[in-house]
Amino acid sequence: MKILVTGAAGMIGQKLCARLAQDSALGGRTISSLHMVDVAAPVLAAAAFPVTVEAADIADPRLAPRLMASRPDIIFHLAAIVSGEAELDFDRGYAINLDGARLLLDAIRAENLKSSGAYRPRFVFASSIAVFGAPFPDAITDDFHLTPLTSYGTQKAIDELLLSDYTRKGFVDGVGIRLPTICVRPGRPNAAASGFFSNIIREPLVDRTATLPVPDTVRHTHATPRAAVGFLLHAATLDGERIGPRRNLSMPGVSVTVGEQIEALRRVAGDRAVALIERKPDALISRIVSGWPEKFTACRAIELGFVAETSFDDIIRTHIDDELGGTIP
């Protein structure tokens, strides 16, 4: 089985590729090769199969036909610029988040037509809960309409429609997974509007201060990087007949307020960690986040076997286990 991962240098991409290298198989099939692509060259320590690492721009129209020429069996399309950056740089957001996906889908279609329909890979697309926009019900159901309120959300929503249509036409076997905010993200703060959700947990756990730009009452849904990798792997192996024609799914997660996040941090790491959170209101971040949904039923995803954490305490402990060696410094 040949696998292609775009956005492979990103946090989730790195963890996904490491998991593929660790397992050497997916869905009971042996992995024969892995192609990792990102704007900066990805890194993978070791694998039992050949690995190709490439630095390239997903918006370059010459790239997708070349990637598809080898006809990968499974494509994980994770390449994107984050929400805050997409909102500030309109052109770049559409070039990467929309045109990049369209170029890949068109290149797959070209290979499909060349093979008279014999080539139809599983295309797993990392979408976002930003495809939804206010006003919201208490919990977003599987049939809630797409009304994004940001450029990033609009780009992801268009990608979802393209994925469904290319799947309907038989060019690709697509699955879109709407990721909740991934928390706690390892590394350093980035340009994502949602980055503070991780910052206020990750930084205090290692005795660093963190900035909180929104009120404690802000509610959001979260899942760990470990859960996100699990979502992707499960989406890659699901029977398409079980999914049916509605190919985009909202993933499960833990819905909590920022205040509840902070109390979970207090339970796990104590008052000293909480004291390192500094409140500095940011109008742009507050506006962006206020347009995001707070809670999901995720009934279809749960029925199809997608699994996430069930408490924010578990989310913090998973970060400690996976990123801090199981202990707080």
CATH code of residue 70: 3.40.50.720
Q: Which two tokens stand for residue 157?
A: 């929503």
How far apart (Å, rounded) are the C-alpha atoms in residues 226 and 268?
19
**Structural domain includes residue 111:** yes
**Structural domain includes residue 215:** no
How far apart (Å, rounded) are the C-alpha atoms in residues 283 and 296?
25
Contact 86, 155 (CB under 8 A): yes
- Active-site residue, 152 included: yes
Among 91-95, 144-148, 164-168, the minimum mean pLDDT is found in 144-148
Range of the domain at 75: 2-180+223-250
Amino acid at 40: A
**Structural domain includes residue 94:** yes
**Structural domain includes residue 269:** no
Residue 287 predicted with pLDDT over 90: no
**Structural domain includes residue 157:** yes
Mean pLDDT for 153-159 is: 97
What pLDDT, in 10s, does the model give residues 55-79?
A: 999 999 999 999 999 999 999 999 9
Q: CA torsion 19→25→31→35, rounded to 10°?
A: -20
**Structural domain includes residue 274:** no
What pLDDT, in 10s, does the model give residues 215-270?
A: 999 999 999 999 999 999 999 999 999 999 999 999 999 999 999 999 999 999 99
Mean pLDDT for 289-313 is: 93
Angle between helices 258-269 and 312-323 (to 10 degrees): 50
**Structural domain includes residue 169:** yes
Mean pLDDT for 95-109 is: 98
What pLDDT, in 10s, does the model give residues 7-65?
A: 999 999 999 999 999 999 999 999 999 999 999 999 998 999 999 999 999 999 999 99
Residue 150 predicted with pLDDT over 70: yes
- Helix runs in the chain, H state only: 11-23, 63-68, 83-88, 90-93, 100-114, 151-168, 195-205, 225-237, 240-243, 258-269, 271-274, 283-290, 299-303, 312-323
Mean pLDDT for 321-326 is: 96
Mean pLDDT for 175-198 is: 89
The pLDDT of residue 188: 81
φ, ψ of residue 174 to 5 degrees: the values are: -95, 150
Residue 175 predicted with pLDDT over 80: yes
More confident residue, 190 or 150: 150
pLDDT band at residue 134, thresholds of 50, 70 and 90?
confident
If one counts every other C-beta atom within 10 angstroms of the C-beta of residue 190, the result is: 15
User: Which sign, positive or negative, has the C-alpha torsion 175, 181, 184, 188?
Assistant: positive
Tell me how many domains the chain contains.
1
**Structural domain includes residue 104:** yes
